[in-house]
Amino acid sequence: MIAELTGGYQLFIPLIIVTISSYLTINIFEHHSIYAVRLAKQGKLLTHHTDKSILTLMSMDKIIDRDFKSVGPDMEMGQLVHALSSSRNDYMPVLNENGDLLGEIDITKLRYIIFRTELYHRFHVSQLMTPPAAILGANDPMEDVMKTFDRTGAQYLPVVNVDNHLVGYISRARLYSMYRQLVADFSAE
């Protein structure tokens, strides 16, 4: 096209120099094409890395369990036992009046005192709660969520929004179940 527009071949060498320098420049600063970068930012890029591809397809919103009962830090142990008996989980988040996560009550850690009725008015939730193994953000990438579960060995982790208000919990079993299902579906295709 250059030869046709200019009527000669004298601009071929400058054209080759410009083409090579532009190619090398973009390879130094950006390893992927602009189209691949755009798809990756949208979470729609599927590569030969199956794990990462599956994790980009997973949505945090679909695995958060929002059905939980919470307790306040000033609640007495007797009231806590009553609340635990009506809960379907082994844990209860401890929230302040604003809905901020302060800690959690894990029934498996309280089994040795939970049946001692003489302690029901002696202890409060704030004395019995423990910090969670880790706290997940509502916008955390799924790859980070998986790494957090692997690092902590926790069975469930709380998810908070940017204001530290509890959104819900993610169960390790539910997370891995969804992951396995997506891998099976992805492999079938």
Domain segments of the chain as ranges: 2-31, 45-65+134-189, 69-131
The C-alpha atoms of residue 69 and residue 146 are separated, in whole angstroms, by: 25
The C-alpha atoms of residue 70 and residue 47 are separated, in whole angstroms, by: 41
Beta strand pairing call for 156-160 and 166-171: antiparallel
Tell me the pLDDT of the chain averaged across its residues.
82
Mean pLDDT check: name the lowest of 51-55, 89-93, 120-124, 175-179.
Answer: 51-55
Please give the structure tokens belonging to residue 131.
């910090």
pLDDT digits (tens, 9 = 90+) for 34-71: 777 776 666 555 555 566 667 777 777 888 888 888 89
Q: Is the pTM higher than 0.85?
A: no
Please give the structure tokens belonging to residue 141.
């990438």
Assess whether pLDDT exceeds 70 at residue 188.
no
- CATH class, range 45-65+134-189: alpha beta
State the burial class of residue 74 (Cβ atoms within 10 Å of its Cβ: 0-12, 13-18, 19+): exposed
42, 48, 50, 56 alpha-carbon torsion, rounded to 10°: -10
Topology annotation, domain 69-131 = CBS-domain (3.10.580)
